[in-house]
Structure 1
């Protein structure tokens, strides 16, 4: 299972939000690129970067910073937040991003999603951000009537290879992931499922690996010292 340290960018800084609330922000670094280098040095094999400004506005607001990250590290980087056009997808891929994550547009613009998948194949992933099992859009500010498990099945039929599933009510709360919902999502599909939201302990990581998930994103627990990345790697290695 791949462990993805999360780097969330807002106003050019590395931050964390609580339950996706833009008014509940903690700043952890003024340099997201330095943070990326730190996680690589600690043994990360993949980085998960989110442009929070982009998620809210629908534009690639922090593209220059993300380009610097991909230039500074040798490990792959996946990016999400505000990706709603082929132009943005192509710019990120040209900048060295390994995987581009489509969120809101996967719900609201299916033609764009289909074009992105057909053009870029496994360089495209879809972020499914859910509240009580239903998909949230527009930087988590709106909840749709789309059932998350049903959406995963649709995405697989469209040729999507990877989904990132975030339980918003767990995100930033340091109380563990929603294991039941993650198992439901993983059982509903044969594509890669990356867990996000609430990953806090070595035990959480062991359980996610034993659920046969492809990956897990770790955010707040790393930044506030609840879990070190060395401990996270240990938890992944000792699963089974």
Structure 2
């Protein structure tokens, strides 16, 4: 009886894919925010800064915490180096709660081809701007998906692996389009690690719409003769 109740409670707290965890129950924000300085280690290094250039026009800088979640931080760095996160959308964004992304399927059911990451629950709290690994009901099922907290929710502490916190660009996180999924989702245009210049406004802008083809002329069309071209082999 007690075991069943505990399993039900854990499932309700899950921030994970709908297929694996039936989505999370909407949990009201709880607790109080803390200063960013209290959250971060004494020494900050560029090789642990995760940059997300978003389609809503700005850069979000997340300070990673390998001292608290080394395996998850290593996973983030590996996938970022592969370009895995480039173009992925925030597929589950709940007002007053969090923005979840990192799924190549965009449904909450996907992940990378790498093995799942074991749980690294720690003392970092789910305060505003905290970044943590999404998972299914299995505590050891984190992979590529992550979420960023809009508001504090300390009920999630020690149930999910917090591996970083936003230190710059939280206004761009606040601007992420809401929905499950959003009608016009915000995307990660490029993810990078370290001292990498932000993308320009032109690079962040969506591509221009495709023009409709012109109407074909009426009447018969006379084919134009084509001069044969001799293929040439490129030198390598």
Structure 1-normalised TM-score? 0.26
Structure with bigger RCO (C-alpha 8 Å, 6+ apart): 2
TM-score computed with the length of structure 2 as normaliser: 0.27
- Structure 1 or 2, whichever has the larger Rg, is 2
Q: Which has the higher strand share?
A: 1
- Structure with more helix by fraction: 1
